[in-house]
Structure 1
Amino acid sequence: MNFETRTGPDFGDAAPQYPDATVPEWYRDAKLGFFVHWGLYSVPAWAPAHPPGGVPVEDAYGHHQYAEWYANTVRIAGSPTWRRHQQIYGTGTSYEDLADRWDAGGFDADAFVGELVGAGAKYVVPTTKHHDGFCLWDTATTGFSAARRGPRRDLIAEFHDATRRAGARFGVYYSGALDWHVSDFPPIESDTDLFRFRRHDEWFSRYSAAQLDELVERFSPDVLWNDIEWPDGGKGAADHGLAALLGRYFDKVPDGVINDRWGVPRHGYLTREYTHVGEVLDTPWESTRGLGYSFGYNQAEDAGHSLSGHALIRLLADVVSKNGNLLINVGPRADGSIPDLQLQAMRELGTWLRRDGGAVYGTRPWIRAFEETGAPRAYTTSPGAVHVIALDPSAGSIDLPAELSSGHARWADGTEVAVDQRADGRVDAIVPDALRGEAAVALTVTS
């Protein structure tokens, strides 16, 4: 679902003036960020494992693939989550009761963030509050938080401090449209319900504004990542309105960046969630997805549901070639540990980026992202160079397009490129034997 065109209400001549939200160059250079979906939903850590081909549209919410949607799915009578919850916790235990069962004793923020930065992350975006309303920072707005229940720790402060120490940019995810803890609607069972069953009243608008103000004031986030929308009651010109909120944000963080999920006619970069983008987009955008089919940790998933290291590397190359950033998600267990399946793919990505990162970081799209024929590849460019990322090195060679056939070429490991001149005048770059088992390998061509 694309969110950038959802705007409203129409205030006419009384429409507020929004601050400029130009996407800064640091963000465009960063290319890779890590989402962290960790919250109360990590206690049950379960959703129906996504079957091949998905589920019918009419069952999408009753069989929701996102474990972080547990608080909604468990209220859909007869759903797999509803049945399992009763089996595990009994009929008298609500989702919110699980807050006191959350033990985050295994969480070491520096070690955790170290894995993300080691995997190549230039920015880290933990969820501060998902749709369940459970806040992971020490907020003055509610007692329904990790500081007062369960972990009894300010987890966002720990993430923030560790991320700054590691030299990465820090962002915050915030659920602006939905907060089931302070709402009284039926469960969401369709995309229509997603936008119908949410609050727009002044109290909730002020509540959301107060929480966002707290996050900005305390953490000066480089990325402000809002989910789904913003309450309509907070879209006017009042001091608690979004225009004023964003104005305060950019005053505090002049080179900050926002996404597109605000429901107003001003946004930063576009988001594409579990979506393949076919061509280069003119505007900066961000691809986001979990390593599996869920953002929150889903213990029902296995290797068949999760991206391998090879697939993750190729995904990053594809996204970057089309003017995008990749915000890949890690979903830790309740105790704060990263599951081995996710960790393995992350570490493979980090190893690849330490060799081939010059074809990723700080690059921009070339005149096209790929070729329709020949060995699969992705293109990026940096000053004075074009990078050809071979996405199937096992093919043994990659045919260089005419625009690059006369340049000087070198593989990312420093190996000079051996070439074969073809009868049609094109040049084949021969992949060294030592690189043919890699997920991808970058070839840099200079004039």
Structure 2
Amino acid sequence: MYQFNRDDYNKRMEWYQDARFGMFIHWGLYSIPARGEWLRSTEEMSIEDYQKYFDEFDARDYDPKKWAKLAKEAGMKYVVLTAKHHDGFCLFDSKYTEYKATNTKAGRDLVKEYVDAVRAEGLKVGLYFTLLDWYHEDYPHYGDRIHPMRNNKNCGNENRDFSRYVEYFHKQVEEICTNYGQLDVLWFDFSYDDMRGEKWGATKLMNMVRTLQPQVIIDNRLEASGEGKGSLAEGNPTPYHGDFVSPEQIIPPEGVKDVNGDPLVWEACITMNNNWGYHGTDKFFKPAPMLIKKLVECVSKGGNMLLNVGPDAYGNIPEESVEILSQIGKWMKRNHDSIYGCGIANVPKPDYGRVTRKGNKYYFHMFENTIGPVPLLGLEKNKVKKIRALATGYEIPISTSWVHSDYPDIVFANLGPNPVLPDNIDYVLEVEMDD
């Protein structure tokens, strides 16, 4: 039986805390109507009305090699794909249901192609698996808070056996953990109301997963949702504790800490526009400069960012997303040392940006320039070994200007006379300190 062990946990989490940046991919039948991945629920759509999308799904342009290459070029280190979302449709070849990609016009196991492509790029492999299932007959229908048939009295629960559903979904998780080699991330989604913990058979499930995939990293959503931290944060981890906290569509204002005030591992999952699945009219994309700064914010608070793309009905990642990821990749190529393996710097946040840290190197991220030399708050002047512009490696001298003579204990960097920063998104100063 699985029991929490701090040393094993720390070892398991090493690569994940070094990676800091990953790609989330939401793709399935809902990409065809293109009104969001919750379409069946929000529109209270019946299985029969939704069936036309199953009949149409052909994955015509599906090429996970392109997805994986795009993620790598953006500077991402891991990828998480929705193997199964709430509508119950499986991108993998499950022997426990007919509601799967192999029975559509696509006619093949799409997860198999995905894991092969991601591994080929040297990225870590993650799979998302929902705890919900709006297709399965034994999942609660009428009266459930979010089921598509929640208001349909003709879909009562008298003959439904939830234990049969739990057995079914455990078997599918077993398939995922058995048929695709080593998994690096297993991203469950999500608990709500009384549907949490042992309602999902969570201890039994986790014992199986930890036996089949002892190295896999798991989120906290067997216990929580996009809100809530879980039992690891409470200082009394259950057998099904989450390895990381998973805030959704928000970056925690002060990071995430446990009951003792110690930092927790966390990951903010963020959409590029306002939907996870492809949405035909949602063009409200967050610009690349904003997302770069938000990635830096996550790292400065000790967290990761999982940035979502929603491929269209055919399997193409939207052009807007591709362009955004390209811009992020250009910045990451020059500045990735300030992201990978970095975390909380434990120095005051500067007015002009943020600070990340890796060992004896501090990375001062400048989102805007200062008037006069740049204050590097929190550093001991006599321990500064050198300052470099991270993107180019050239030396930045310590300022000796009279203008900061009133602040003799603060280190100031001299960027020269130009008020315009060389990088108008985020100009990074690498400050190396004596050990």
What TM-score comes out, normalization by structure 1 length? 0.79
Instruction: Say whether the 8 Å CA contact 1:37–1:332 is kept in structure 2.
Output: yes
**What residue is the counterpart of 2:426 in the other structure?**
440
Matched, 1:223 2:205: no
- The amino acid of 2:141's aligned partner reads F
Over 3 Å counting, the alpha-carbon distance change for 1:150 and 1:94 in structure 2 is farther
**What residue is the counterpart of 1:270 in the other structure?**
245
Q: Distance in 1 between matches of 2:289 and 2:60?
A: 32
**What residue is the counterpart of 1:391 in the other structure?**
367
Larger deviation, residues 250-259 vs 357-366: 250-259
Q: SS in structure 2 opposite 1:298?
A: coil
Structure 2: any 5+ residue segments left out of the alignment? 151-155, 224-230, 232-237, 257-262
Q: Distance in 2 between matches of 1:438 and 1:163?
A: 32
Over 3 Å counting, the alpha-carbon distance change for 1:187 and 1:74 in structure 2 is farther
Match of 2:413 among 429, 433, 439: 429
Q: Distance in 1 between matches of 2:393 and 2:184?
A: 35
Match of 2:37 among 68, 72, 79: 68
**What residue is the counterpart of 1:252 in the other structure?**
212
Over 3 Å counting, the alpha-carbon distance change for 1:143 and 1:345 in structure 2 is same
**What residue is the counterpart of 2:54 in the other structure?**
99
**What residue is the counterpart of 1:289 in the other structure?**
270
Over 3 Å counting, the alpha-carbon distance change for 1:31 and 1:17 in structure 2 is closer
Q: Distance in 1 between matches of 2:161 and 2:412?
A: 60
**What residue is the counterpart of 2:328 in the other structure?**
349
**What residue is the counterpart of 1:163 in the other structure?**
118
**What residue is the counterpart of 2:235 in the other structure?**
none
RMSD in angstroms over aligned alpha carbons? 3.0
Q: SS in structure 2 opposite 1:33?
A: strand
- Give the deviation of 1:73 after TM superposition: 1.4
**What residue is the counterpart of 1:176 in the other structure?**
131
* Higher-RCO chain (CA-CA 8 Å, sequence separation at least 6): 1
Q: SS in structure 2 opposite 1:44?
A: coil
Q: SS in structure 2 opposite 1:140?
A: coil
- The amino acid of 1:134's aligned partner reads F
**What residue is the counterpart of 1:139 in the other structure?**
94
Q: Distance in 1 between matches of 2:214 and 2:423?
A: 44
Percent identity, aligned pairs only, is 28
What TM-score comes out, normalization by structure 2 length? 0.81
Q: SS in structure 2 opposite 1:138?
A: coil
Q: SS in structure 1 opposite 2:247?
A: strand
Matched, 1:301 2:262: no
- Cα deviation code 1:404-445 (max 9, x no counterpart): 555221111212114544232244435576853431122111
Instruction: Say whether the 8 Å CA contact 2:140–2:162 is kept in structure 1.
Output: no
**What residue is the counterpart of 1:333 in the other structure?**
312
- Give the deviation of 1:285 after TM superposition: 0.3
- Give the deviation of 1:178 after TM superposition: 3.8
Match of 1:185 among 131, 135, 141: 141
Task: Figure out how many residues of one structure are paired with residues of the other and give that number.
Answer: 387
**What residue is the counterpart of 2:234 in the other structure?**
none
Q: Distance in 2 between matches of 1:394 and 1:147?
A: 58
Structure 1: any 5+ residue segments left out of the alignment? 1-15, 47-66, 77-81, 83-91
Q: Distance in 2 between matches of 1:166 and 1:442?
A: 28
Q: Distance in 1 between matches of 2:369 and 2:63?
A: 38
- The amino acid of 1:160's aligned partner reads V
Larger deviation, residues 103-112 vs 336-345: 103-112
Over 3 Å counting, the alpha-carbon distance change for 1:359 and 1:289 in structure 2 is same
Instruction: Say whether the 8 Å CA contact 1:280–1:365 is kept in structure 2.
Output: no
Q: Distance in 2 between matches of 1:430 and 1:180?
A: 62
- Give the deviation of 1:396 after TM superposition: 8.4
Match of 2:81 among 121, 126, 149: 126
- Give the deviation of 1:130 after TM superposition: 0.5
Over 3 Å counting, the alpha-carbon distance change for 1:431 and 1:301 in structure 2 is farther
Q: Distance in 2 between matches of 1:139 and 1:395?
A: 61
Matched, 1:381 2:357: yes
- The amino acid of 1:72's aligned partner reads S
Q: Distance in 2 between matches of 1:147 and 1:202?
A: 27
Instruction: Say whether the 8 Å CA contact 2:197–2:222 is kept in structure 1.
Output: no
- Cα deviation code 1:296-352 (max 9, x no counterpart): 1111111xx111110110010000110101111011111111111111111111111
Larger deviation, residues 432-441 vs 30-39: 432-441
Q: SS in structure 2 opposite 1:255?
A: coil
- Give the deviation of 1:254 after TM superposition: 2.8
- Cα deviation code 1:124-175 (max 9, x no counterpart): 1000110000000011011111111142221111110001111111011000
